C-alpha cells in the first residue's frame, strides 16, 4: 500500500518504505513456513 501511494504522490521515501515492508513480509512468511514444516516433521 505504501509503495503504491508513494508512486502516486511521487514520494520516494514512502515508496521505499513500502518495498521494505513487502520484503520483510516475504521473509516472515518464509520463516513461518519453515517453522510449520519443522513442527510437522517433528510430530511424525
Mean per-residue pLDDT, 3-21 = 96
Which distant-in-sequence residues (6+ apart) come within 8 Å of 16 by Cβ? 6
Which band of pLDDT confidence, cut at 50, 70 and 90, is reported for residue 43?
confident
pLDDT tens string 15-29: 999 999 999 999 999
Global pTM exceeds 0.85: no
Specify whether the CB–CB gap between 22 and 3 falls below 8 A: yes
Spatial distance between the Cα atoms of 35 and 15, rounded to a whole number of angstroms? 31
Here the cell at position 18 is 513500502
pLDDT score at 38: 95
Residue 20's nearest CA partner among 42, 39, 40, 1 is: 1
Amino acid at each position: 500500500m505504501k509503495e503504491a501511494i508513494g508512486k502516486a504522490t511521487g514520494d520516494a521515501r514512502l515508496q521505499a518504505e513500502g518495498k521494505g515492508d513487502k520484503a520483510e513480509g516475504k521473509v516472515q512468511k518464509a520463516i513461518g513456513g519453515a517453522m510449520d514444516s519443522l513442527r510437522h516433521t517433528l510430530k511424525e
